[in-house]
Structure 1
């Protein structure tokens, strides 16, 4: 089962939205960690500030009273719900603790600075401050759980706007991608909506510049398809028209055979019938070959190398018997030449030229070739009656027959089409000894 394909629009939306969310996540992680670190610094600063504030209050009491008999009022400060402090005398006795503070000391009596302690089952961040002249010590503590909760809440409040922005950015990406890809979607729908016979160029005005070459390629493809269909329709119509005559002749010969009164008459009619069948078969084969060549496109760079001299000798050898039967000398003057080409198509070209030449030659047919300016020039010439100038202009047309009316009228059309597929052309030249007719085919190397 084929895997589902992503659309270009879906891929762009997914990638851009993922990039936006990933960027927010990376930035959010950095901001979250930075916020926690900054909160730790601020909380530590609050512990230090509170310790010094408490020391300022108790210092006066230590000067007037015994440090073990000190009595303090509750100090009002903004962090009363999460900051706790203890006051200890110079002898280490706990003389005062804030409301909610545990009775167990936060730290050693002579401790100084920050520490993390577990007191009465609770973890605290503790700051200890020693009074001047060792009169006592101040311990200010904050529960780590409350500290972490406050820091995380502050960090999340900073991240929330970023998340909203990332979601808005993803929605914006979705809208922008839909708008940007709308011409592409419209282009594909315009192609889908076409009828099979509609080959008019697709309008490219709405396409972005990057896709205009694709649009031109589609229009060129439509033009090629239209040309191929036109060739096919023309060939089909012409073939249907041209095959009526040989089919009618076959029917007539069959009727003659049926009405024959003697074996000789019947044998003659059957021979004519077989000949007609052979001609019809050749006509059908020519039509099919031409149809196949019309649909074919050749990339010269991808073609194999063909030895034209070997191909010419091989194809000419097939006509040796026919040439001897007609009393025609068949000469091959092709030097070692190579070109990139379709060997099968070139063989068809040679066979058609040889067949035409042998049917009209008086005594000689010559196959020759030469190299010229990056191409190969192949000629097949005879010494027959030739062809009038007015017929030459139409002789390469499909189903055109000369005054003799022989064949299906497709041989030279096949020759011209094969030459065109090989980047060349076909034309008429004078025949041998100033008589007859020759065909010159130029093929790209």
Structure 2
């Protein structure tokens, strides 16, 4: 049995959404302690109160550091890792010029496993401990990813892409084949250790109505799996969807009518959504993954966070690599902040870290399992260094409030600021 462990330092997590609760949502201990027993959170509070109750635990002290829950990436493509930062296109052209040719390589299990190992190492290095991940159309890509994630004891959600039209022949399946492949993968992987499966139609333009119906059948057959896709990322894409599905009310309506919306459905992007679509998503409990680095990089548009909040749609942060330009959710917040500035709104550091932790857990229907330091939660933890670089050290010396410290950290930090990442209480 692993000896109980106590981490000491500045500790910050959330008990609610700062957008609605303000600073009452923030739980902060300046000289805090979190105790981990058997991979779970056993105690949390001020060190002076907690430490005497656990005299025999191993103690790890992090002075001048911030201890936060492991971060949660609610939308990313592991198979696009190697073509990050590919120049010059918007969404539809970017797919055909960059994404699709790269994804064709993932029919090879060994190749997919090599990239999965690299991808997961990079995630953990950035303090990300859970992600909702696109594979490719190849079942081998999902087997490779889950093999690599299982070996690391990571809580990961992934699925095989379903795509039966408007894509290269090498990446095309059929409604029948995508159903059978997905069912086999669900039965093999869903609920194994910390792994879960996501039914993954790429987006409406690459699936026929028959394939969307097959995806819905899987959700009915396996009610605890996820549904992961894209929506309303690019204006040309939205127009294309209206032409391909003329009977649908709107883009979200395509998924609604196919029976794909529920509490475990996550739609990436959602930049150009109507109030009707957001009301629909709220009524089904469906969440959005906000992917600002990707939205800016391929020129998709500016995410309307206030509109999401008005309709009480849960929002998590997504790196969306490879259209996204960093696996760091700290850098993702950096860009999310700027997007809201361009919209004439503010996005506090508390709101940003909430979306990367408890908000991400809520978006993935995992509150109570990950996302904060409530007793019994899995002990996935990131330890952040306020002074990781000279400019961070200089700026931190001027910070006067908790929010100012956190804002400077999140705006200036990247993987260099992640001193340690813990998976179920084990430093990795």
Which has the larger share of helix? Answer: 1
Which of structures 1 and 2 has the bigger CA Rg?
1
Which has the larger share of strand? Answer: 2
- Of structures 1 and 2, the one scoring higher in RCO (CA 8 A, sep 6+) is 2
**Would you say same fold, with TM above 0.5?**
no
